[in-house]
């Protein structure tokens, strides 16, 4: 027994030396504060503008739940994995609970101030990143005043210490590229705008750090050229071997390169904080390049939509009421969303979001390669 115990001790020591992450304890995140667009919006957009119609939310919530999907988003799986409840949208005034954080993400949001601020499917949200940061500052200050005042709302606010201990998550940038593409800019012009977009992101993240944030989980942007709203609106774009719009994905990849460089810069400037860059692009692209391997089919075709080879039409979107041969019908979903990648031509299904989360949460697609539950800053000494 002594020899076995000694062997185990030596093996454990060597494992720790060669894989120091194994020696770290899981973080205890008491809250999440999320910033982003429709990829992580849990109700902000619909609290401000017309609500989503069925079949949005049908798979998991059995009703529209403020999410641009048939079910849960990646941020929902993040919260669940940390034993936290789903995040309430900051903009939602009905039944919200901010004890475990808040979600500032709003569909159609951008990092930079968009040229067109039109709250509609064809426009871009007024709640761009700087506004979301300002909302965060409001919550941070006013929540503590409410807690001091006591009463029924006090128990719905996060504790003061949560703001430093929380996980800060980011998934934004896709609409900045989309704003350029749909603003009649060439691919080259959109590409040229990327450094300014990323520099704005850097400025706002620094502000959030200066407000006390220390643990940052930053998603890059996905393969926009694989989504129906790009493929249907830019049919002449050169396709790659998978069928995605090659040059549009290349712009996304350039954005991701600049974003990663920015995260590395933040890490150098703020060494006491934890900045984790998460390669969501690679995981999402694998759903288009190897769908059968992962249990999916027809990856380029929207589950909920109407018309064309991608089942996407901006004037007859998911849940819309349209007239066909004199009869009004609702644009519905496919028979089995659980085997589909794209929900409505722009966003992903519950099943796809679950798959992406399961891949990125391990740390296999992160820099540094640290699992989600260990991606916190650690006090030295």
The tens digit of pLDDT for each residue in 233-281 reads: 999 999 999 999 999 999 999 999 999 999 999 999 999 999 999 999 9
In this predicted structure, the answer to whether residue 324 has a pLDDT above a threshold of 90 is no
Q: What is the DSSP string of 259-273?
A: HHHHHHHHHHH-TTS
- When mean pLDDT is compared across 14-18, 181-185, 198-202, 306-310, the lowest value belongs to 14-18
294 is catalytic: no
Predicted pLDDT at 238: 98
Write down the pLDDT at residue 123: 61
Cα(320)–Cα(200) distance, rounded to whole angstroms? 35
Helix (H, G, I), strand (E, B) or coil at 367: strand
d(CA 355, CA 252): 21
Taking only the tens place, the pLDDT of each residue in 63-120 is: 999 999 999 999 999 999 999 999 999 999 999 999 999 999 999 999 998 655 443 4
How much is the pLDDT for 138? 98
Average pLDDT over residues 283-303: 98
Angstrom distance (rounded) from CA 350 to CA 58: 10
pLDDT of 141: 97
- Kindly list the distances between the CA atom of residue 364 and the CA atoms of 78, 87, 195, 274, 357, in Å, as whole numbers in the listed order: 16, 25, 27, 17, 11
Q: What percent of the chain has pLDDT over 90?
A: 85
- Of 5 and 369, the structure prediction assigns the larger pLDDT to 369
Confidence check: pLDDT of 34 > 60: yes
pLDDT band at residue 378 under the 50/70/90 scheme: confident
The set of residues, in sequence order, having a beta carbon less than 8 Å from that of 186 and lying 6+ positions away, is none
Q: Which helix (H) or strand (E) holds 24?
A: none
- Active site (annotated) includes residue 347: yes
| Residue 123 or residue 290, greater confidence | 290
pLDDT for residue 323: 87
377 labelled catalytic: no
| pLDDT reported for residue 157 | 98
Mean model confidence pLDDT for the chain:
92
Interatomic CA distance for residues 135 and 128, integer angstroms: 11
Omega within 30 of 0 (cis) for the link into 381: no
Whole-structure pTM value: 0.92
Active site residue: 37, 176, 279, 344, which one?
344
Distance CA 381, CA 300 (A): 51
CATH architecture assigned to 32-295+348-368: 3-Layer(aba) Sandwich (3.40)
pLDDT score recorded for residue 325: 86
146-177 pLDDT per residue, tens = 999 999 999 999 999 999 999 999 999 999 99
Q: Are 16 and 152 a contacting pair, CB within 8 Å?
A: no
Per-domain residue ranges for the chain?
A: 32-295+348-368
Q: DSSP label at 298?
A: -
117 phi/psi in degrees, rounded to 5: -105, 85
Whole-number pLDDT of residue 118 = 40
pLDDT of residue 45 exceeding 70, the answer is yes
pLDDT of residue 379: 61
* Active-site annotation holder among 37, 176, 219, 347: 347
Distances, alpha carbon 77 to alpha carbons 25, 108, 252, 352, in Å = 21, 21, 24, 12
Residue 18 above 80 pLDDT? no
CA–CA distances in Å: residue 351 to residues 121, 244, 303, 354, 357: 24, 21, 12, 5, 10
Percentage of the chain beyond pLDDT 70 is 90
Residue pair 347/39 in contact (Cβ under 8 Å)? The answer is yes
- CA-CA-CA-CA dihedral for 71, 76, 78, 80, to nearest 10: -100
Edge-to-edge order in the sheet of strand 215-219? 101-103, 32-36, 167-171, 215-219, 274-278, 366-367
C-alpha pair distances (Å), 154 with each of 103, 131, 135, 351 = 19, 25, 18, 36
Q: Could you tell me if 35 and 101 are in contact, meaning their C-beta atoms sit under 8 angstroms apart?
A: no
48-62: average pLDDT: 95
pLDDT at 380 over 80: no
């Amino acid at each position: 027994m002594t020899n076995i115990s000694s062997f185990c001790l030596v093996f454990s020591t060597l494992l720790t030396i060669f894989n120091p992450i194994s020696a770290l304890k899981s973080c205890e995140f008491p809250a999440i504060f999320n910033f982003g667009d429709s990829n992580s919006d849990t109700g902000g957009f619909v609290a401000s503008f017309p609500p989503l119609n069925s079949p949005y939310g049908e798979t998991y919530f059995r009703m529209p739940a403020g999410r641009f999907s048939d079910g849960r988003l990646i941020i929902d799986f993040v919260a669940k994995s940390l034993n936290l409840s789903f995040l309430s949208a900051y903009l939602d005034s009905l039944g919200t609970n901010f004890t475990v954080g808040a979600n500032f993400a709003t569909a159609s949001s951008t990092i930079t101030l968009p040229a067109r601020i039109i709250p509609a499917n064809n426009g871009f949200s007024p709640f761009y990143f700087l506004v979301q940061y300002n909302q965060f500052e409001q919550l941070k200050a006013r929540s503590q005043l409410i807690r001091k005042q006591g009463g029924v709302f006090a128990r719905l606010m996060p504790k003061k210490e949560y703001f430093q201990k929380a996980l800060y998550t980011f998934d934004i940038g896709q609409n900045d590229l989309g704003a350029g593409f749909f603003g009649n800019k060439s691919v080259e012009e959109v590409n040229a705008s990327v450094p300014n977009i990323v520099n704005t992101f850097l400025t706002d993240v620094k502000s959030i750090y200066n407000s006390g944030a220390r643990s940052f989980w930053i998603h890059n942007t996905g393969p926009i050229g694989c989504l129906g709203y790009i493929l249907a609106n830019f049919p002449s774009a050169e396709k790659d071997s998978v069928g995605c719009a090659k040059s549009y994905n290349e712009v996304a990849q350039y954005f991701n390169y600049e974003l990663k460089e920015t995260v590395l810069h933040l890490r150098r400037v703020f060494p006491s904080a934890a900045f984790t860059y998460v390669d969501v692009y690679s995981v999402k692209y694998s759903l288009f390049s190897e769908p059968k391997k992962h249990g999916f089919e027809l990856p380029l075709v929207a589950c909920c939509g109407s018309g064309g080879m991608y089942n996407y039409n901006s004037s007859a979107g998911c849940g819309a009421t349209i007239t066909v041969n004199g009869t009004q019908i609702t644009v519905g979903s496919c028979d089995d969303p659980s085997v589909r990648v794209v929900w409505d031509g722009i966003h992903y299904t519950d099943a796809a979001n679950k798959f992406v989360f399961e891949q990125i949460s391990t740390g296999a697609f992160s820099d540094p390669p640290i699992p989600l539950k260990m991606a916190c800053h650690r006090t030295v000494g």
